[in-house]
Structure formats: structure tokens, C-alpha cells
A = this chain, B = another copy of it.
């Protein structure tokens, strides 16, 4: 094991890595007993906005599960909050934005904030985490894609299909585009601030990109994520993860993003074919598989790495880790990736 583990950075740059780096979306939180203890004492926004707590939570999976990267503990909805919306995170129930955007005049209530003023707590958390990590592993910052943030800002809460948000785009396209551009401008400044505060990599989460038709994804999502990637890609390494938007893998590979995240509903072979070989792929273990027995986790992880190949590849889940995953199952996932080169040698040696 390297003292300074830069596997993730090398994989994103397309350099040789002796094995794929591994981390897990939502690795900080939920399933970790030490996190659950903090959750009992502090509200969600207290945990996010207190640098001591956020740094502690961010580092927990590095120390306890052995991942190759830390991702700052925060939430994509800090951006709508900084823009002036009320955002509540209800424990176990998800987000609630009690005054969603319904019409053009509602945009007057929003602002494009100075991130140092309204999101400084995230930068403080990044700086503290960076210092505590002391180079052990890279630090990932993140933000929601403008389309995904619009979903919450218009629908006001979680949804299976965000029908109201889609209908909003179709009935009031002008308002939608103005809102998307406001979110984009805020996000660019916010992510630049994250890089200045120590993020080595930033990931843009488009959790609801797959709810749009291919044409509408380009119109209401990708043209904005593309601006974000373009503004960041020379300042840091970038990963774009649009869940369900397999149909846009080719377009996304041309944004300049160093990495593309994948959910579990696409085969590694097809993902590579669509994305080409000039971008690093990240994913795509079905998170529900971590609830299965450890030997089956090990077998499926090896199969996944063989399918992706170990070059330009980052092992991860296809979505966030589930709250009820036993810690030793998460560790089995990580360890199997770490032992991959050895296991593969055995696999290829005739008995």
C-alpha cells in the first residue's frame, strides 16, 4: 500500500495503475455505526456545516473500510439553500423544499450567491479534511447537476419520476432555462471554491438525468453539465455521473470530463463501446448486491473488474450504498478490488 495513495488521480488521468482504485458513492454515512452515533446527536445540516463533524464523517470510511478516496460529507441541496430556498432534510424521509419554484416570478426569490459567504462551511470542511487526510488518499468534492437540482427545486421533494419537474420544463421552458443557468453559474463558482479548498477531483451527480428522453436530456441537462465540466476540467479532475442516461454516454465522453460514472443497468462492454477509450469509467456494482453473502460479493466484483478491464477504470457502486449494508460487506467489496491483481493471477493459472 502506498503511503500517498494517488490511484484515483492516475486512473482519471488515464495513467497506469497496478489495480483499479475503489470508493463507494455515499460511503460516508448511513451504514457506518460511528456515523449513526453522530446522527443521533446532530441534525443533518449541523453535520454538514460543522467542519469538525463533516471532516470526521468524511474520513471514517477511509480508516474503517479502506477506500482509495474520501468524498466530502455534504449534500447536493446545499446549493438551492445557498440560492435562497428553504431546504429541510427530514431524517429517514428525504428532502423537503416547502416553497418550490412554480413560475417565472418565483425566480426573483433566488440569488446567485457568493460561495465564500453562503457555502464557506463546505470549504472549511474541505480544508480541515484535507489537512487531516495528510495526503493518504485524494479528496473528492461534488455538486448536483443543474437538472437534478431543478427536479427538487420544482417538485419540492423526492419523487420516482419527477413528473412536475418535467412538465415544468415542457410548459415553461424559458423559466426552466433561466433557472438552470442560475444553478449552473452558482455551481461553477461553488466547485471552483471546492478546488481552492483542497478537492482534487469533483463529481457532478445527475441522479435524475435518466428521467429525460435523449433529446430533452441534451436540452435540459447536458448543455448545463457541459458548461460545468468545461469550467473545471483544467483546474481539477472531473467525473460526470448521470444515472440512467446511458443513451448519452457518447455525448458525455465528449464533454472533457476525465471520468464517467455508470449505474448497474448497463454492461461494462457496452458502456466502454459507447464512451470510447479516452475516458475513465467508474461503477457499477448493484448496491443491493452488498446485502448478499460475502462469497457472492467477491465473485461478482471480480467478474465486474474482468469485464471493465483494469485500465482507465474506477471500481464503485452503481448508486449510493444502502443504509442496511453490514460494514464487513462494504469492506469485502473494497478488499476484493484491492486483491484483484492477485486473484486474477490465480484465476488465469491453469490448475
Contacts and interface: CB of A to CB of B under 8 A. Distances in A.
B171 A292 contact: yes
A264 interface: yes
Contacts of A214: 265-267
A211 B265 contact: yes
Interface string A253-278: 00000000000111100100000000
A327 B346 CA distance: 64
B292 A210 contact: no
So how many copies of this chain end up in the complex?
2
Contacts of A167: 288, 291-292, 322
A213 interface: yes
A288 B322 contact: no
Given A163-B322, A322-B163, A171 B213 contact: no
Interface in A266-299: 266-267, 270, 286-289, 291-293, 296
29 contacts: A158-B160, A160-B160, A163-B287, A163-B291, A163-B322, A166-B286, A167-B288, A167-B322, A170-B288, A170-B291, A170-B292, A170-B296, A171-B292, A171-B293, A210-B265, A211-B265, A212-B265, A213-B264, A213-B265, A213-B318, A214-B266, A214-B267, A215-B267, A216-B286, A244-B265, A246-B246, A247-B265, A247-B266, A247-B270
A171 B288 CA distance: 10
Interface pairs A-B: 3 shortest CB-CB: A166-B288, A170-B292, A167-B291
A211 B319 CA distance: 12
B270 A170 contact: no
A292 B213 CA distance: 15
A265 to B, nearest CB: 6
Nearest to A303: B215
A164 to B, nearest CB: 8
Contacts of A163: 287-288, 291, 322
Contact of A170 (B166, B289, B319): B289
Contacts of A158: 160
A263 to B, nearest CB: 9
A329 to B, nearest CB: 11
A250 B73 CA distance: 41
Contacts of A166: 286, 288-289
A319 B162 CA distance: 13
A270 B266 CA distance: 15
